[in-house]
């Protein structure tokens, strides 16, 4: 049994203009110790998927359906009290904007200690000592002094390390990292990714990585799901997806990645771009959601939505014209 199984997840929002289908029938699973990446452009439903797993979607205007099984329990069936026992304890999340996620009027030590007191019943003194230990573990210098400081006194990289310390304080079984390096410069990004990878090995947690950066995916993930307009377009292992993308949208994303040293080799080709815009998620679309932007699209694509189909061993894609290799019976 997988650690997390998401089955036909639908997260819709009621708006004055109609129902916004932010996540529309997404299915995937994560094994213990595995790193799964969700990738796609802004607005494709990655963060909403993560918030749905933690049941952080306000209802109304949101409405969730499907199944989210964590260690065999459907999280959508649990009471609010039961979910509070899971959030921050068994499932933790690193949010993408630490300055907005950290409380500006509470010290770093108190914010780390709050999670420990709530979920593990530590005394205030024990929580403070554990907070010092966690800051040291995530590579923050002078942790004894830092626990008494406030978020505005830390750099962006240090604030992100604090977020990681809070998320890992209770040794979670699943860590959700929502764009953990977006607001950081390239050097700090590399340090944070190395830190997450090392800490994952230490505590044996599975990771759900939310990102639009395929370079980050290549660096840390085992498997990857490509999302578009609230649906899963493709899923494969990272080496397989980069070497043999099946969906035209995935091809477009990979074609837009700058190649290191291309200008030194005399390359003059422009980066490829995906024409058009993401469809309006409030409108019902009968065919493939990507058909208006796809170079392979024909009439069947505009009339009939392709289902996810195994195109190679362990590699699925939702495209009528994706090449198919022999899949063992």
How far is C-alpha 169 from the chain's CA centre? 20
pLDDT on residue 326: 59
State how beta strands 35-39 and 206-211 pair.
parallel
- Sequence-distant (6+) residues with CB within 8 A of 73 are none
pLDDT in tens, 117-163: 888 788 888 888 888 988 888 888 899 999 999 999 988 888 888 88
pLDDT on residue 130: 87
Averaged over 241-268, what is the pLDDT? 78
pLDDT on residue 327: 53
Q: Are 29 and 16 in contact (CB under 8 A)?
A: no
pLDDT on residue 52: 95
Within the chain, how many helices (H) and strands (E) appear? 12, 12
pLDDT on residue 224: 96
Confidence check: pLDDT of 262 > 70: no
Averaged over 313-329, what is the pLDDT? 81
Token pair, residue 55, equals 């049941």
Other C-beta atoms lying within 10 Å of the C-beta of residue 297: 18
From its phi and psi, is residue 195 left (phi > 0), alpha (psi between -120 and 50) or beta? alpha
d(Cα 138, Cα 196) in Å, to the nearest integer? Answer: 9
pLDDT in tens, 65-97: 999 999 999 999 999 999 988 988 899 988 877
pLDDT on residue 328: 56
pLDDT in tens, 12-31: 999 988 899 999 999 999 99
Peptide bond into 60 cis (omega under 30): yes
pLDDT in tens, 161-217: 888 888 888 888 999 988 877 766 777 777 777 777 777 777 788 999 998 888 888
Q: Are 101 and 155 in contact (CB under 8 A)?
A: no
pLDDT on residue 247: 95
- The CATH architecture of the domain made up of 4-90+172-257+273-317 is 3-Layer(aba) Sandwich (3.40)
pLDDT on residue 261: 56
What residues pair up with 91 in beta bridges, in sequence order? 87, 174
- Sequence-distant (6+) residues with CB within 8 A of 121 are none
> What is the separation, in whole angstroms, between the first and last Cα of the chain?
22
Q: Are 307 and 231 in contact (CB under 8 A)?
A: no
pLDDT on residue 184: 67
pLDDT in tens, 231-249: 999 999 999 999 999 999 9
Confidence check: pLDDT of 108 > 80: yes
Q: Are 214 and 297 in contact (CB under 8 A)?
A: no
> Which residue carries 């797993």 as its tokens?
53
pLDDT-above-90 percentage for the chain: 46
């Amino acid at each position: 049994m997988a650690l997390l199984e998401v089955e036909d997840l639908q997260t819709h929002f009621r708006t004055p203009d109609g129902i916004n289908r932010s996540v529309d029938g997404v299915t995937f699973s994560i094994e213990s110790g595995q790193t799964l990446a969700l990738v796609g452009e802004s607005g494709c439903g990655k963060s909403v998927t993560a918030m749905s797993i933690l049941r952080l979607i306000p209802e109304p205007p949101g409405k969730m359906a499907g199944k989210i099984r964590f260690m065999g329990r459907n999280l959508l069936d649990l009471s609010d009290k039961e979910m509070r026992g899971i959030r921050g304890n068994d499932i933790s999340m690193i949010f993408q904007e630490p300055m907005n996620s950290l409380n500006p009027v509470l010290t770093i030590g108190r914010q780390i200690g709050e999670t420990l007191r709530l979920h593990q019943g530590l005394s205030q003194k024990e929580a403070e000592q554990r907070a010092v230990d966690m800051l040291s573990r995530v590579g923050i210098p002078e942790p004894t002094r830092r626990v008494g400081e406030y978020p505005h006194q830390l750099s962006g990289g240090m604030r992100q390390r604090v977020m990681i310390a809070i998320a890992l304080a209770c040794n979670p079984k699943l860590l959700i990292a929502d764009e953990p390096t977006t607001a950081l410069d390239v050097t700090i990004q590399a340090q944070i990714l190395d830190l997450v990878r090392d800490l994952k090995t230490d505590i044996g947690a599975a990771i759900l990585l939310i990102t639009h950066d395929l370079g980050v995916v290549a660096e840390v993930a085992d498997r990857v799901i490509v999302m578009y307009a609230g649906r899963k377009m493709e899923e494969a292992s990272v080496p397989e997806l980069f070497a043999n993308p099946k969906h035209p949208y995935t091809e477009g994303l990979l074609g837009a990645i700058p190649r290191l040293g291309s200008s030194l080799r005399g390359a003059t080709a422009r980066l490829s771009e995906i024409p058009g815009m993401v469809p309006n998620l409030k409108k019902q679309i009968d065919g493939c959601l990507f058909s208006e932007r796809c170079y392979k699209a024909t009439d069947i694509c505009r009339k009939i939505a392709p289902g996810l189909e195994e195109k190679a061993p362990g590699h699925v894609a939702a495209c009528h014209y994706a090449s198919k290799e022999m899949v063992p019976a």
